[in-house]
Structure 1
Amino acid sequence: MAIVGASGSGKSTLLSLLAGLDVPSSGEVHLAGQALHRLSEDERAAIRAEHVGFVFQSFLLLPSLTAIENITLPAELAGVKDARERALTLLKQVGLSERADFYPAQLSGGEQQRVAIARAFITRPAVLFADEPSANLDAVTGQKIEDLLFRLNAEQGTTLVLVTHNDELARRCQRQCRMQAGRFIDTTTQDLADVG
């Protein structure tokens, strides 16, 4: 599903609420059978660790960790026993096997975003939230990142919810929801056969 709209329309705020990063001032948010709005921060963090992956627009890699360490961190925190093996597999899938021991400062923007995507998929989340995953990249690199995101999404059977300004990227999703001033103003659903 794509959430589209102008800057300031509430897209990123909605994504943060859906992922349990923030709590709504009113209303309810349910994820994985849990009422997130009723849980403490620690309880929401536990739900995220088990069920959620998140790709941030600004990558948010830890500068003191290598690519492989950034990827394995969420899996290790979740108690995944084969975290390093999963990370190596994901590094290969995102085309960065040779960069495993590089620090974020040694990677290009596109490489950092590929590490961020691998990190988001390491725990095999049920839902992956992506906030403008290709916005800080040039057109060619952005297209590669988008293709990678959809490929990993299909391979792992993960529900993908992304925020974008890009109507072409939104059309690749089965469903598009347009926001304006914090409200949905239009929803479009495509037949899966139409999604490329």
Structure 2
Amino acid sequence: MTGKILVLTAIDDELDTARAPEGVEVIYSGVGKVNAASAATLSLGVLRPSLVINYGTAGKINEQLRGLVEVAHVVQRDMMAMPLAPRGRTPFSSDLDRLSSGHGDVICGTGDSFVTSSDPWLNENNIDIVDMELFAIAHVCQRHSMPWRAFKFITDDANDFAAEHWTANVADGQELFWDAVKKLTSGLDLRS
């Protein structure tokens, strides 16, 4: 792989750019799917990276998970257009409802809500973690035939204490993420 790697993350509290290796560009998208889709589209057009990585925080549904995880698949947890389509599916769209990175083993459910209570649909669909941006970023990448990967740091249990725990842990995954990026990029030519 040659060319820049683009890291998209929602806010600067999640990721400090000071540790970014040469050839890695960090763009803050803002929170939520609309902001993420807009930032991803603009960034792909301007930077023309060879890989997009989404880094961010996540609430866990799967009690076994801790720390930094890599996302294999992402779905929209808040696409609720029933009865026109089942939850998670965009009606009248031929686009995929489950997007895959080809890496990792975690399933992420993206939605424009901060999860603070249990949702049986998440368990029924084997969702491991929840976030607010990844599906939009992966969707833009798929439309532009751009490879993507996603790393999420688990900050909370997606329960009544989620906001408090997220606030306390939002910056705690940075070092783990940058270590993962260094491993991923070691030996690569990242010149533009």
Q: Same fold (TM over 0.5)?
A: no
Task: Identify the structure with the greater helix proportion.
Answer: 1
Which structure has more strand as a fraction of its residues?
2
Q: Normalising to structure 2: TM-score of the pair?
A: 0.31
Output the TM-score relative to the length of structure 1: 0.31
